[in-house]
Amino acid sequence: MPLIGALVVKEFQTWLRGRLTFAAFTLLVILVALLVFLLGLLILAPDANAAPALFSTTSTTSSNILVANRAIFLFGAVGLCIILASAIVAPSVAASAFAAERQRGTLDLLLLQGPGPVRIVLGKVLAALIFSLLLLAVGAPFFAPAWSFGGVQPDQVIALITILCTATLFFCALGVFFGSIMSGSLQAALFAQGVALFVLFGTLGLELAFLILAGNDILKPLLWLNPFLALLSGGGSATDAFARGAPAAYRSVLSLPAQNWAPGVLLPAWVIGSLCWTILAVLLVLASAVAIEPMHPLKVRRR
């Protein structure tokens, strides 16, 4: 895989020289810190009654849940913030890096190196993934308060890391895909971010809208793609806490039960979600490879 390694090294050499990277890095630290601070204020408020529970329409029913599960709520809240940051950062990093290759004409240079378009796309996705995860690592210290309260289980940490890695992989693949079919960096980044944010908020919004307005559950499968819900459906005390915090009418929507995919094998939502994002990322990589290869057999009939 010489081209992939060379691409990853080259991307880092380019990114780490630009002032923009450090500006984005600083901005991200400030943004995540602010979000965590605000959520911390709500969750760690001395008078828990003053803090509205997540997803609750009343402030009185959830106070005990909130107080009893401060660590879980804080852990989940920081996790959600970082996933949100990933949905914003990863697609734009990947899309702009790829579209910039087009604008500079260096995509031709990469194509001429020989190993094929799939490796070019894969190299770009991996470089963007590593870079995005390094950027998102700035959120790690914000988990310290949650950890210090106790109650966060190792499997929840594993679930969060898996979700973050696979969802970021999917977001990077989205960015590279839009970068490969659009010529402008900004345009590609905005489209990729739009789709990523739709996966976070749009899927949930559509399902709730259909459920409330039409009374049917037809869009429920879309929720398996939602990283927020995958995290909240992590199982154990976290899931219980979040489910109890939500209004009763929405609990069935917000909780994605583990699925029995094979005898004796229960797959929780975060595993299913992670598999889905990885498969989608692979499909996007293949589609991008077709898009950038002028000699691909699929393009013969179009001309």
Partner 1 sequence: MTTTAPPDRPLADERPAVQLSPGEPAVLVDHIARRFGNRPVLQDVSFSVPPGVAFGVAGANGSGKTVLLRLLATLDRPTTGRIAIHGYDSIRRARAVRDRIGYVGEEPMLYDGITAEQYLQFVGRARGLGKEVRQIAVDTLLTVVGLNDRSWREISVFSPGERRRLAMAGALVHEPDVLLLDDPLRGLDGFARLEQIEVLRELHHLGSTMVVAGTRPEDLLEVCDSIAILRGGRLVWTGGQADALALAMPQQSDAARIRVEVLDGLEAGMTLLGQRRDLRELEVDEDGRTIWFLFTGDQEALAGLLPQLIRAGCTVAHFGVEKRSPAAALARLFHE
Judged by the rule CB under 8 A, the positions of this chain that interact with partner 1 are 2-3, 5-7, 9-10, 13-14, 17-18, 104-106, 108-116, 294-295, 299, 303
Cβ-based nearer residue to partner 1, 109 or 161:
109
Name the nearest CA neighbour of 77 among 143, 133, 25. 143
Cβ-based nearer residue to partner 1, 122 or 159:
122
Cβ-based nearer residue to partner 1, 5 or 205:
5
Q: Give least dist CB 117 to partner 1, A.
A: 10
Cβ-based nearer residue to partner 1, 249 or 296:
296
Q: Give the separation between CA 118 and CA 176, rounded to whole angstroms.
A: 12
Residue 206, by phi and psi: left (phi above 0), alpha (psi -120 to 50) or beta?
Answer: alpha
Q: Give least dist CB 75 to partner 1, A.
A: 38
Cβ-based nearer residue to partner 1, 116 or 221:
116
Q: Give least dist CB 12 to partner 1, A.
A: 10
Tell me which H or E stretch contains 191. Answer: helix 185-197
Query: How many C-beta atoms surround the C-beta of residue 295 within 10 A?
Result: 8
Q: Give least dist CB 298 to partner 1, A.
A: 12
Name the nearest CA neighbour of 169 among 136, 214, 202. 136
CA distances from residue 148 to 34, 71, 145 in whole angstroms, order as listed = 20, 8, 5
Q: Give least dist CB 294 to partner 1, A.
A: 6
What letter would DSSP give residue 86? H
Instruction: Write the DSSP string, 90-154.
Output: HHHHHHHHHHHHHHHTHHHHHHTTSS-HHHHHHHHHHHHHHHHHHHHGGGGGGGHHHHHH----H
Cβ-based nearer residue to partner 1, 6 or 157:
6
Q: Which residues pair with 265 in a beta bridge?
A: 262
64, two tokens: 């005990």
Q: Give the separation between CA 11 and CA 281, rounded to whole angstroms.
A: 20
Q: Give least dist CB 120 to partner 1, A.
A: 9
Q: Give least dist CB 3 to partner 1, A.
A: 5
Cβ-based nearer residue to partner 1, 15 or 191:
15
